[in-house]
Chains A and B, each alone.
Chain A
């Protein structure tokens, strides 16, 4: 056989075995399901649900904590303010008494 004949024989078109296309499609679909459903879809859904729960739970707690901190700070400042006021009133009273005694 000539070279040309060998080549033509090697490259001749042969029909696919029966059921080949169906088997290929079935395997592709199975592979897609294996990748998408368990490893992407589920964790993403779970992450979104967890994020939503956290988003709903944290702000009220955080707000309450911050409000408490502000309240304690305000109370401390109030006590300092009242203490300074008391000292100033006492000092003024002392000066008035001194002045009165000096006049007497």
Chain B
């Protein structure tokens, strides 16, 4: 009986520690006119780092990351995605390991930022959900970060500005015909 309980507890722990499957968010973009879908796992991040040249700030932030996942969608009109499709991600982030540090709700917009605290003041991840009527962005960064890294991420850090006007913003995206 004890063995069964131990096995069950181990299974629950393993399940809880499993990462989030971002495929479940793909249906959010079913009606999107533009979508940015970026999945960079640990190996790809290491490969990318090798091509960063002398960009020390970016290298420092990226060196301990296990993954970066971006899902960003733009819609021609409001009501083109279901809030319910975000429920699996919100449920995942509701686990006690994650702290919601920002929760801004305006008329028809929400911004949420979650951090995964670790020991020694470090972080195990960062998640951002930004939902507007015609735009939805999910950012999920997995791996060891510190607060300085978050500061660097919100600063310029030598990253080229890709925040173009609304109608043509962001490169590396797919545009639906």
A contact set with B: CB distance below 8 Å = 67, 70-72, 74-93, 95-96, 99
A80 to B171, CA, bound (A): 7
Q: Do B160 and A89 have beta carbons less than 8 Å apart?
A: no
A57 to B134, CA, bound (A): 53
Contacts of B109 in A (CB 8 A): 95
Contacts of B171 in A (CB 8 A): 80
Q: Do A78 and B40 have beta carbons less than 8 Å apart?
A: yes
Q: Do A85 and B141 have beta carbons less than 8 Å apart?
A: yes
Q: Do B40 and A89 have beta carbons less than 8 Å apart?
A: no
Name A78's closest neighbour in chain B (CB-CB).
B48
Q: Do A77 and B40 have beta carbons less than 8 Å apart?
A: yes
The SS class assigned to the B binding surface is mixed
Q: Do B51 and A74 have beta carbons less than 8 Å apart?
A: yes
Which of B2-10, B26-34, B88-96, B149-157 participates in binding chain A?
B149-157
The residue from B47, B126, B162 contacting A71, defined by CB atoms under 8 A apart: B47
B contact set with A: CB distance below 8 Å = 36, 38, 40, 44-45, 47-48, 50-52, 58, 61-62, 68, 70, 72, 102, 104, 106, 109, 111, 113, 126, 128, 130, 137, 139, 141, 150, 153-157, 159-163, 170-172
Q: Do B48 and A92 have beta carbons less than 8 Å apart?
A: no
* With A78-B68, A92-B104, A96-B102: A83-B159 Cβ-Cβ less than 8 Å: yes
Name A90's closest neighbour in chain B (CB-CB).
B154
- A-B pair number, CB within 8 angstroms: 107
Q: Do B130 and A91 have beta carbons less than 8 Å apart?
A: yes
CB distance from A81 to the nearest CB of B (A): 5
A74 to B109, CA, bound (A): 31
CB distance from A97 to the nearest CB of B (A): 10
* With A82-B58, A82-B153: A77-B139 Cβ-Cβ less than 8 Å: no
A78 to B38, CA, bound (A): 8
CB distance from A70 to the nearest CB of B (A): 6
Q: Do B159 and A82 have beta carbons less than 8 Å apart?
A: yes
Q: Do A92 and B50 have beta carbons less than 8 Å apart?
A: no
Name A73's closest neighbour in chain B (CB-CB).
B48
Contacts of A91 in B (CB 8 A): 111, 130
Q: Do B172 and A77 have beta carbons less than 8 Å apart?
A: yes
Contacts of A74 in B (CB 8 A): 40, 44-45, 47-48, 51
A-B residue pairs in contact (CB < 8 Å), sample of 26: A71-B47, A74-B48, A74-B51, A75-B48, A75-B52, A77-B38, A77-B40, A77-B172, A78-B40, A78-B45, A78-B68, A80-B172, A81-B40, A81-B68, A82-B153, A83-B161, A84-B162, A85-B126, A87-B162, A87-B163, A88-B128, A89-B113, A89-B154, A91-B130, A92-B104, A96-B104
